[in-house]
Chains A and B, each alone.
Chain A
């Protein structure tokens, strides 16, 4: 079954404690992306990756890092989380060929106290 898998699904942590949200896809997609979803704002892109070792900033990259060492994995790193990063996060992937739809994971709800 084609899937984008995120872990953890829920996390409550404290300001300044480094955390990583993992994302893995089994569709051999080149393109992967991270979004955050906040009430009334829609999904906003944080970072994206066109392929292994190729990443770039989206619209709201401040406070986040990513890496793409393998095609299937695209972790999101918060090195020093702050309360304004409390949000619902989604990882997505798609083929680069044509205008293919992005497939989304089920989300990670982060609460930074």
Chain B
């Protein structure tokens, strides 16, 4: 069965303390891996799509990378406004847009 596992479950950082979130997956024939940010009371907000091993995408303090079995979301010098739950999802092979989500990593950045 295809699975997506995110770690850690929760992460507390001091402002400016860089770290990485992990997303490992067992989907074969990956069509795409997506990172989303979710704020309390809101729906997931799209951040990045990665398609192939070795690919990297950046946006402000966030950088997402992809290998054959996992993806990392690196957060450089985080600020309190980066506090959110970060979700990883993989797109299965096949003719439709099904996503399998991990349970997410709750990030808290303290001043």
Chain B: minimal CB distance from A55 (Å): 11
B-side interface residues, number (CB < 8 Å): 24
CB contact between B42 and one of A102, A103, A106 (< 8 Å): that residue: A106
Which residue of chain B has its CB nearest to the CB of A50?
B96
**A residues 75-113 in Cβ contact with B at 8 Å:** 90, 92, 94, 96, 99-107
Which residue of chain A has its CB nearest to the CB of B102?
A42
Chain B: minimal CB distance from A2 (Å): 11
Chain A interface extent, by class: 20 to 34
Chain B residue contacts of A56, Cβ below 8 A: 96
* A43 within 8 Å of B (CB atoms): yes
Given the known inter-chain contacts A4-B43, A42-B104, A107-B43, please indicate yes or no for A99 contacting B31, CB distance below 8 A. Answer: yes
The 8 A-B residue pairs with the shortest CB-CB distance, nearest first, are A104-B43, A99-B32, A42-B101, A101-B46, A43-B101, A42-B103, A104-B44, A106-B43
* Binary contact track A30-51/B, C-beta < 8 Å → 1, others 0: 0101010000111111001010
Query: Contact between A40 and B103 (Cβ–Cβ < 8 Å)?
Result: yes
* A58 within 8 Å of B (CB atoms): yes
What 9 new A-B contacts, CB under 8 Å, besides A94-B97, A96-B97? A41-B103, A56-B96, A58-B98, A90-B43, A99-B49, A101-B49, A104-B44, A104-B45, A106-B43
Which residue of chain B has its CB nearest to the CB of A90?
B43
CB contact between A45 and one of B45, B49, B99, B102 (< 8 Å): that residue: B99
* Binary contact track A7-21/B, C-beta < 8 Å → 1, others 0: 000000000000000
Chain B residue contacts of A102, Cβ below 8 A: 34, 46, 97, 99
Chain A: minimal CB distance from B64 (Å): 13
Query: Contact between B96 and A101 (Cβ–Cβ < 8 Å)?
Result: no
Query: Contact between B46 and A103 (Cβ–Cβ < 8 Å)?
Result: yes
Chain A residue contacts of B62, Cβ below 8 A: none
